[in-house]
Amino acid sequence: MPVLAARHVSKSYGGVAALSDVSLELYAGEAHALIGENGAGKSTLVKLLGGVLLPDAGALEMGGDAVVLATTAEARDQGIAVIYQEPTLFPDLSVSENVFIGRQPLRSARRIDYRAMNSAVREIFGRLGVRLDPDRIARGLSIAEQQLVEIAKALSLDARVVIMDEPTASLSPVEVERLFRVVRNLRSHGTAVLFISHRLEEAFALCQRVTVLRDGAFVMSSELEDLTADDLVRAMVGREVLAREHTSGQRGDVVLKVERLTREGVFLDISFDVHAGEVVALAGLVGAGRTEVARAIFGIDRYDAGTVTIAGRRLPKGSPNAAMEAGIGLVPEDRRQHGLVMDMSIADNISLASLPELRRRGLLFSRVERTFAKSWAGRLQVKYRRLGNAVSSLSGGNQQKVVLAKWLARRPSLLIVDEPTRGIDVGTKADVHKLLAELASEGVAVLVISSELPEVLTLADRIMVMREGRLVATLTHAEATEERIIAAGTGQVLSSGTGDGSAS
């Protein structure tokens, strides 16, 4: 008998069906993969199981008995823990307060027992192999660190069912393997795990069964050992998706030159360049300093020493406006917090970085903005109902395309893309990879930060590896393998490639 089951559930938003007659069974001691393209209905199903939404039709069962999960608290009381794709932490509370929010251990006189709470969080982080201070305030944590806090929150519940919605999207291979060990440990103790990921290799490595959704409808459930990755892709998208091979464009002049860039305690003595027509990747473990280097180049964060030069022009410190004027675009790691204004329309978000060019005699006409946004949405094949809808109504993959459209509309000479395909499906991922390769072929310099090594090897002409704030290796595409990148990122000895951080 399944621990948790959804029986023929349906859910609509404003007359649009997000789920239609979907069933799912989760068994104790089993990891079950849930896959589908962005917009397939996976997140809606997770919200039904987690008590965020009520189904319009159908029912949920726990141990064979019908249950109504009207709130997240009711789901938690039934033993269901959910790790959502987008972290939802309280920024002004500590890490441990976020883990135990609403159920903090108490001392006498109902005072919070911070010592016990911090000790429990340290124990959970120890199981995950994570070094994160429980007393640290959540504000300023990277997406990957926020995700680890969400994972710790779910593990602290000692739940009967753990639902993981894209938990590995921002984690490096080393952190992913640590998480897998935790999942296997949960299974050995009889926990049912629902694992949602766009990385099909993870589903095969971790899960025993799979359910596929497409366009809100049930497609199939099966034992994974009976399937191949191609079978799953065809079930997800209803068509063949060809794997993209790496192609190198014509390398031109140096566009970006970074010399001895240093921010005390974050990164040290970073030097590299990126040429026109070249894709360069920054790889390394979470916390290695990759995102911080990108933010410093774009002027979001100040740095203590070093220089950033674009096409021979030295940029001032701490000025995103100067970076934009010099032709730099930045697609950030956290698209919801830093890349989009979620309550604004799709059209407004696409045009946001191009307003000075769209004004006519100092005025912005809605017709001009809509035409501009429609053109770029079409070029990037954004799937939307109306351009006037809030960008929050889009799936994660289409939100990412809106962020890309916003910056491509400015026709940058350098595009920095941090985790370009985080939390998006295999079909959209192929579109994004094709787009970045086309940009390079048109002479744009592209700097990619990615924790997904197959993506790095597909896209990059050169791969630079960071460890603990230092640039420790630079590999050509011909030299690079997943093993060598991991070895450099974890401090092992490289068998070839430069180990001095040089780049040319």
Could you tell me if 68 and 79 lie in one domain? Answer: yes
Do 314 and 352 sit in the same domain of this protein?
no
Task: Give one DSSP letter per residue of 230-290, joined into a string.
Answer: HHHHHHHHSS--PPPPP------SEEEEEEEEEETTTEEEEEEEEETT-EEEEEE-TTSSH
Q: What is the pLDDT of residue 492?
A: 67
Is position 280 within any domain? yes
Looking at residue 27, which CATH number applies to its domain? 3.40.50.300
Beta-carbon contacts of residue 138 (< 8 Å; ≥ 6 apart): 89, 90, 91, 92, 93, 94, 95, 98, 146, 149
Strand partners, 209: 32, 223
* pLDDT mean over 460-488: 90
Inside any domain, residue 304:
yes
> Same domain, yes or no, for 394 and 462?
no
* 9 found inside a domain: yes
**Of 210, 237, 264, which residue is a domain's last?**
237
Measured CA to CA, the distance from residue 40 to residue 109 in angstroms comes to 49
| Residues 55, 191 share a domain | yes
Q: For residues 192-218, give the mean pLDDT.
A: 90
Dihedrals phi, psi of 22, to nearest 5 degrees = -105, 135
| The residue count for the chain | 504
Percentage of the chain beyond pLDDT 90 is 48
Q: Are 95 and 117 in contact (CB under 8 A)?
A: no
Q: Is the pLDDT of residue 504 over 70?
A: no
**Each residue's pLDDT tens digit, 98-154:** 999 888 888 888 889 999 999 999 998 887 777 889 999 999 887 778 878 888 888
* Residue 157 sits in the same domain as residue 304: no
Sign of CA dihedral 486, 491, 492, 496: positive
Share of the chain above pLDDT 70, in %: 93
Six-digit token pair at 94? 């500590």
Interval 163-199: pLDDT, tens: 998 888 767 777 788 788 888 888 988 999 999 987 8
Range 224-241 average pLDDT: 78
498 falls in which pLDDT band (50, 70, 90)? very low
* 482 belongs to a structural domain: yes
pLDDT higher than threshold 60 for residue 450: yes
Evaluate whether residue 118 is within a structural domain.
Answer: no
The CA distance from 174 to 177, in Å, is 5
311 and 347 co-located in one domain: no
Domain end marker among 180, 213, 237:
237
Residue 259 covered by a domain: yes
Question: Once rounded to an integer, what is the mean pLDDT over residues 87-92?
Answer: 87
- Which structural domain range is residue 171 located in? 4-89+141-237
For the stretch 292-304, pLDDT in tens is 999 999 999 999 9
Q: What is the mean pLDDT of residues 270-276?
A: 96
| pTM confidence score | 0.61
Section 54-66 average pLDDT: 94
* 392 and 297 share one domain: no
Q: Is residue 69 part of a domain?
A: yes
pLDDT in tens, 282-336: 998 777 899 999 999 999 999 999 999 999 999 999 999 999 999 999 999 888 8
| β-bridge pairing 267-275 and 254-263 | antiparallel
Number of domains in the chain: 3
Same domain flag for 274 and 351: no
For the segment 194-218, the average pLDDT, to the nearest whole number, is 90
The C-alpha atoms of residue 391 and residue 389 are separated, in whole angstroms, by 6
Residue 63, phi then psi, degrees to nearest 5: 60, 30
The structure tokens listed for 3 are: 């621990």
Residues 14 and 159 in one domain: yes
Output the pLDDT for position 423. Answer: 67
Model confidence at 497: pLDDT above 90 = no
pLDDT tops 70 at residue 493: no
Please name the residue that has the structure tokens 């956290």: 334
Residues 152 and 293 both lie in one domain: no
Q: Which of 411, 435, 463 is the last residue of a domain?
A: 411
Q: Are residues 15 and 77 in the same domain?
A: yes
Q: Is the pLDDT of residue 345 over 90?
A: yes
Phi then psi for residue 81, to 5 deg, are -115, 135
Q: What is the pLDDT of residue 245?
A: 66
| Residues 181 and 307 both lie in one domain | no
Per-residue confidence (pLDDT) for residue 278, from 0 to 100: 95
Q: pLDDT of 347-397, one tens digit each?
A: 999 998 888 888 877 787 888 888 999 999 988 888 888 899 999 888 777
Distance, CA of 111 to CA of 290 (rounded, Å): 40
Residue 97 lies in a domain: no
